[in-house]
């Protein structure tokens, strides 16, 4: 035994749901953009706080601090990656991935590599975890910025 049910007139609702998903994605992207900006600023503050010393090779078994040139190479280089969208999910990352190369004391060095060496340290350079510190300090403010922007956006569209 079977019963067949048919509902008609779903086109309007379907269009409405599609529009809603598009708006939700736009709102999420706008929120993420603002949140990522907040996070990038916090990390940039960390870059400004990096302690340096004029470059000299570490003595055998010794350590050296990052040089002013290394700090300068990563200053202003924090960026937000291209957004990855999947339905209402939007992802990005904040970091030095797209920062390219910089001249450090006459040598071309990958900015991300210089940033990583300062943040994580090496066997001959003391670590200064500016990135983790900035990301931790900025997490709450970034989250607040994301929520505020999404709510504003949804308010504007009367979707709340």
User: In angstroms, rounded to a whole number, what is the distance separating the alpha carbons of residues 133 and 125?
Assistant: 18
Is residue 139 within the footprint of other proteins (CB under 8 A)? yes
For β-strands 89-91 and 101-104, DSSP reports them as unpaired
Count of residues near other proteins by CB under 8 A: 18
Binding to other proteins by residue 37, rule CB under 8 A?
Answer: no
Size of the chain in residues: 160
Q: Helices (H) and strands (E) in the chain — how many of each?
A: 4, 6
Stretch of residues binding other proteins (CB under 8 A), selected from 15-23, 34-42, 83-91, 132-140: 132-140
The Cα–Cα gap between 29 and 27 comes to 5
Binding mask 50-79 for other proteins (x = CB under 8 A): -----------xxx----------------
Closest CA to 159 of 12, 28, 11: 28
Give the residue with the Cβ less far from other proteins, 9 or 62. Answer: 62
Nearer to other proteins, 61 or 87 (CB): 61
Contacting residues toward other proteins, per CB under 8 A: 61-63, 116, 120-124, 126-127, 129, 132-133, 136-137, 139-140
């Amino acid at each position: 035994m079977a019963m067949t049910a048919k509902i008609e007139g779903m086109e309007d609702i379907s269009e409405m749901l599609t529009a809603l998903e598009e708006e939700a994605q736009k709102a999420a992207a706008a929120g993420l953009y603002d949140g990522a900006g907040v996070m990038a600023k916090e990390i940039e503050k960390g870059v400004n706080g990096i302690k340096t010393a004029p470059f000299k090779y570490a003595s055998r078994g010794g350590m050296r601090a990052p040089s002013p040139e290394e700090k300068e190479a990563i200053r202003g280089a924090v960026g937000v990656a291209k957004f990855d969208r999947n339905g209402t999910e939007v992802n990005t990352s904040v970091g030095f991935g797209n920062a390219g190369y910089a001249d450090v004391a006459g040598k071309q060095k990958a900015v991300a590599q210089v940033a990583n060496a300062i943040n994580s340290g090496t066997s001959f350079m003391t670590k200064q975890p500016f990135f983790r510190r900035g990301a931790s300090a900025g997490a709450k403010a970034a989250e607040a910025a994301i929520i505020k922007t999404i709510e504003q956006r949804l308010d504007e569209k009367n979707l709340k």
